[in-house]
Chain A
């Protein structure tokens, strides 16, 4: 395999995952928390595809494609929830959204 080995891709993946986790922990806007969640899902995908390449088995790529579909579904529902919350004229701040009562 040309270029860096699988370990380099895995380290890149975990640094990206940590960046996403950091974003989820510090941001207050639910929109940016969703974007940071996408970063974490993509970091998982990178690790899956790196392992698929290392083992020479494309099942990991199938898993990554399935994760992509779930990420799309998650983004639709997350954005739908954010729009529904903003209709209630509530400030979009996850520290203040403490009650789910309608």
Chain B
């Protein structure tokens, strides 16, 4: 009896955490899209990534949750913030001038994508999706991820390093001071 009570108490706790993370995820996602100032959008993305990390933890993805916070919140968002600081983030209000044809079409298209997939999930929720596998505590641990990366997914792991190298070289080339037409005019 005590074991059952403890199980239901932790179930309620997990539900509570899930609802909080889901609300934070959706609210910060909408905030990223609708904030006029890009700087606030980038900050809202950090909240979005943090609530995603909580959901990954609930799905037994410990290593992915950690990597998510370090790679996204620690590196990618900081890069966005640096570029915003360099360019001086200009506000662009998405709803300025009332709803245009483009905005209305965007809402319809996004709602159509969401509705389509939700209908498919609802149709499948009864049979296949309700059978969740039992996993041990080692599932999603750094040890298991590392072992998979260095055995079954070694090619993906090595290709990843090439992708990052090419991206780094490309970033340097794009960011290096190329002679612009203005510079040439100033020199002439």
A residues engaging B (CB < 8 A)?
1-12, 14-23, 25-29, 31-32, 34-36, 38-39, 42, 45-46, 49-50, 52-59, 61-62, 64-66, 68-77, 79-84, 86-89, 92-93
Q: Given A29-B92, A49-B61, decide whether A68 and B79 contact each other with a Cβ distance below 8 A.
A: no
Q: Given A42-B48, A61-B63, decide whether A31 and B58 contact each other with a Cβ distance below 8 A.
A: no
Q: Could you tell me the distance between the alpha carbons of A86 and B130 in the complex, rounded to whole angstroms?
A: 50
Q: Could you tell me the distance between the alpha carbons of A53 and B76 in the complex, rounded to whole angstroms?
A: 26
Q: How large is the interface on B (under 10, 10 to 19, 20 to 34, 35 or more residues)?
A: 35 or more
B164 touches A2 (CB 8 A): no
Q: In the complex, what's the smallest C-beta–C-beta distance from B123 to chain A, in angstroms? A: 10
A75 nearest in chain B by CB position: B76
A80 touches B156 (CB 8 A): no
Identify 7 residue pairs between A and B in the complex whose beta-carbon atoms are under 8 Å apart, listed by A's number. A21-B110, A31-B41, A68-B67, A74-B167, A84-B175, A84-B178, A88-B180
Q: Is the interface of B mostly helix, strand, loop or mixed?
A: helix
A35 touches B32 (CB 8 A): yes
B38 touches A61 (CB 8 A): no
A56 touches B133 (CB 8 A): yes
Q: In the complex, what's the smallest C-beta–C-beta distance from A30 to chain B, in angstroms? A: 10
Is B3 in the interface zone, CB < 8 Å from A?
Answer: no
Q: Could you tell me the distance between the alpha carbons of A66 and B155 in the complex, rounded to whole angstroms?
A: 11
A38 touches B174 (CB 8 A): no
A31 touches B26 (CB 8 A): no
Contacts of B135 in A (CB 8 A): 53, 56
A64 touches B129 (CB 8 A): no
B160 touches A5 (CB 8 A): no
Q: In the complex, what's the smallest C-beta–C-beta distance from B67 to chain A, in angstroms? A: 6
B8 nearest in chain A by CB position: A2
Is B171 in the interface zone, CB < 8 Å from A?
Answer: yes
B87 touches A86 (CB 8 A): yes
Choose among A6, A81, A92 the residue that contacts B132 (Cβ–Cβ < 8 A).
A6
Q: Given A64-B64, A88-B181, decide whether A54 and B133 contact each other with a Cβ distance below 8 A.
A: yes
Q: Could you tell me the distance between the alpha carbons of A79 and B103 in the complex, rounded to whole angstroms?
A: 25
B49 touches A42 (CB 8 A): yes
Near A by CB (< 8 A), chain B positions 65-115 give 67-68, 71-72, 75-76, 79-80, 83-84, 86-87, 89-90, 92, 94, 102-103, 105-107, 109-111, 113-114
Q: Given A16-B25, A31-B89, A84-B175, decide whether A36 and B32 contact each other with a Cβ distance below 8 A.
A: yes
B145 touches A65 (CB 8 A): yes
Q: In the complex, what's the smallest C-beta–C-beta distance from A57 to chain B, in angstroms? A: 8
Q: Could you tell me the distance between the alpha carbons of A49 and B18 in the complex, rounded to whole angstroms?
A: 15
A72 touches B29 (CB 8 A): no
